[in-house]
Amino acid sequence: MKKETHIIDSTKQDTSEKDYSKYFQTTYQPPSLKDAKRRGKEKVQFHKDFTIDEDLQNIGVGKKFMIRTYGCQMNEHDTEVMAGILSDMGFESTTDTNEADVILLNTCAIRENAENKVFGEIGHLKPLKLEKPGLILGVCGCMSQEESVVNKILQKHQHIDLIFGTHNIHRLPQLIKNAIFNKEMVIEVWSKEGDIVENLPRVRKGNIKGWVNIMYGCDKFCTYCIVPYTRGKERSRHPEDIIEEVRHLARNGYKEITLLGQNVNAYGKDLEEVDYGLGDLMDEIRKIDIPRVRFTTSHPRDFDDHLIDVLAKGGNLVEHIHLPVQHGSSDVLKLMARKYSREHYLKLVDKIKTKIPNAVFTTDIIVGFPNETDEQFEETLSLVKEVEYDMAFTFIYSPRDGTPAAKMEDNVPMEVKKERLHRLNAVMNEIFLKKNKALVGEVVEVLVEGESKKNPDVLSGHTRTNKVVHFQAPKSMIGELVNVKINDAKTWSLNGELVKTVEVSQ
Ligand code: SAH
Ligand code: SF4
Ligand code: F3S
């Protein structure tokens, strides 16, 4: 296993030539997708002793930080950890760019448009940096694991002070210090399989819903996907650490937790000492006094019977299953290396529906995978009609450098891909609306999360099945579980009125 620290202290000279090494005080080794792909036999190292050196604990006193988050829940949660570390260094948080002394962009590499947004923001921040040279601008998250991104920043965006990777978050105190005092671009990106660092501080966003990582990384290597390269290998936290964190959230009044991982159904497979999986973990968490427990994301391949049996016990385990299918054609699924067929997926859905009759399914779908034929796309349409999802995220395939699919020749023009996305969304929206309309007249349990974005006089929250509900109620109810009668259904949300009955349909 390659575990190298690539610290580069660049001078901010012209780096427009290909060989950047002459500009660095130490040997320049860029992050490497090739190294990141390696999966060795070494055991995952658990580090339980995170501390911030005394000389770094006050470095942020009187200064403010801001973190912009792009990407998935994993990144959202990493942002909470970085906010925790920065707070422990004395920094205060701000939402005003002009007030910030440190701005971090926690980036996502999943599709090209996600990366374009970040590069747009990097450009926007340049005038601010020129005006305020003491400002520390940092780029972290999945994009910083990509060699091409680091090189582009070096070539075109020398106003960036700090780049660090997803495996380097616990190094933030030292990295911030280097960035403040060195006046040179600091880059630290480890291309490695990954360890687990426990006991990191966190400043959570809100006190109603909390994220809990149960595992990191991904070993699935779906041919289109960059995540296994940016997040390292699948590695599970110890059950006792997870359970302690959930108990802590319960004690602090949190109403809902979401167990997080790129492929949570693989939880425990790498734990050598115990034979313990997601079903076992959920069975223990279900006994903790917290009203709602979710998990995301499920890979259909590893969804086992034990997990279904545990979920069927209900209680705080909600009846919402996000089960990304990606495509409706077995041939495309094979090219995607999803390792299940359309038939396997449909059988799994049936099995879950049999054991959990009120289960609600949501999904992710990619259209326009290289050489996708019209017939294959039609198979996606027929699958979504068969499953009748309640909600979905749909994407046009975006080639990611270094992944196998990016090397495939592609005969599908972008116009056709856009058209297919449009058709898919039209079919899906009709299903979402139909599903939502079926709830009109029903009473549902809603976790009140806050004011609605559009109208502060209206409160909003989610059902157990993760549907957004808007209704009028006193603000004092924020953070409570209430019953709402649905009287109007839209494609993406429901409107209702507060009721006092205790009868709840879902
Ligand atoms: N681990 C999750 C997915 C995380 S990424 C799973 O396997 O289900 C979230 C979604 O982004 C994926 O489900 C997929 O639909 C989409 N996605 C990933 N890579 C993509 C790419 N290269 N182009 C378009 N969409 C992509
Ligand atoms: Fe990407 Fe596949 Fe892993 Fe999901 S399971 S993160 S799509 S490689
Ligand atoms: Fe994006 Fe990284 Fe998540 S690529 S989707 S932020 S794991």
pLDDT in tens, 342-383: 999 999 999 999 999 999 999 999 999 999 999 999 999 999
DSSP 3-state of 494: strand
pLDDT at 13 over 60: no
- Give the pTM: 0.92
Question: Can you name the residues that pair with 256 across neighbouring β-strands?
Answer: 209, 292
Nearest residue (by CA) to ligand 3, atom 1, is: 108
Range(s) of the chain covered by CATH 3.40.50.12160: 5-188
Nearest residue (by CA) to ligand 1, atom 1, is: 262
Strand order in the sheet with 185-188: 7-10, 185-188, 162-164, 136-141, 102-107, 64-69, 92-93
Q: Which of 81, 108, 216, 364 is the pocket-test mutation for ligand 3 (most atoms within 8 Å of CB)?
A: 108
Q: What is the DSSP string of 216-283?
A: E------TT--HHHHH-S-EEPPHHHHHHHHHHHHHTT--EEEEE-TTGGGTTTT-SS----HHHHHH
Range(s) of the chain covered by CATH 2.40.50.140: 443-499
Taking the chain, what is the end-to-end CA distance rounded to the nearest angstrom?
A: 48
Question: Can you name the residues that pair with 338 across neighbouring β-strands?
Answer: none
CB-facing half-sphere around the CA of 327: CA atoms within 13 A? 29
What's the one-letter identity of residue 419? Answer: E
Does domain 5-188 fall under CATH 3.40.50.12160? My reply is yes
Mean pLDDT of the chain, nearest integer:
92
Ligand nearest to the CA of 117: 3
Counting beta carbons within 10 angstroms of the beta carbon of residue 67, is it exposed (0 to 12), middle (13 to 18) or buried (19 or more)? Answer: buried
**Residues contributing to the annotated binding site for [4Fe-4S] cluster:** 72, 108, 142, 218, 222, 225
294 lines ligand 2 (CB under 6 A): no
228 lines ligand 2 (CB under 6 A): yes
110 C-alpha to ligand 1 centroid (Å): 7
Q: Which of 215, 395, 398, 400 is the pocket-test mutation for ligand 1 (most atoms within 8 Å of CB)?
A: 395
User: Would you give the DSSP letter of residue 326?
Assistant: B
Rounded CA separation 97/316 (Å)? 40
What is the model's pLDDT at position 120?
Answer: 98
> Could you tell me which of 301, 112, 109 has the C-alpha nearest to residue 219?
301
Asked if residue 67 lies in contact with residue 79, where contact means CB atoms within 8 angstroms, the answer is: yes
CATH fit for domain 443-499, picks 3.40.50.1820, 2.160.20.10, 3.40.190.10, 2.40.50.140: 2.40.50.140
pLDDT in tens, 333-350: 999 999 999 999 999 999
- Cα angle 252, 76, 251 (rounded to 5 degrees) comes to 10
Tell me the fold of 200-437.
Answer: pyruvate-formate lyase- activating enzyme (3.80.30)
231 lines ligand 2 (CB under 6 A): no
Average pLDDT over residues 436-440: 98
Taken in order 234, 238, 241, 243, is the CA torsion positive or negative? positive
Name the least confident of 99-113, 180-194, 218-232.
180-194
461 C-alpha to ligand 2 centroid (Å): 29
User: Would you give the DSSP letter of residue 317?
Assistant: B
What is the model's pLDDT at position 193?
Answer: 84
109 lines ligand 2 (CB under 6 A): no
Counting beta carbons within 10 angstroms of the beta carbon of residue 24, is it exposed (0 to 12), middle (13 to 18) or buried (19 or more)? Answer: buried
Instruction: State the CB neighbour count (10 A cutoff) for residue 396.
Output: 17
106 lines ligand 3 (CB under 6 A): no
Range(s) of the chain covered by CATH 3.80.30.20: 200-437
**Residues contributing to the annotated binding site:** 72, 108, 142, 218, 222, 225
- Give the pLDDT band (50/70/90) at residue 506: low
What is the model's pLDDT at position 28?
Answer: 47
227 lines ligand 2 (CB under 6 A): yes
Ligand 2 atom closest to residue 218's alpha carbon, by position in its atom list: 3
Nearest residue (by CA) to ligand 2, atom 2, is: 222
pLDDT at 320 over 60: yes
318 C-alpha to ligand 1 centroid (Å): 23
Nearest residue (by CA) to ligand 1, atom 13, is: 364
Q: Report in angstroms the alpha-carbon separations of 40 from 36, 232, 376, 442, 501.
A: 11, 11, 37, 53, 57
217 C-alpha to ligand 2 centroid (Å): 9
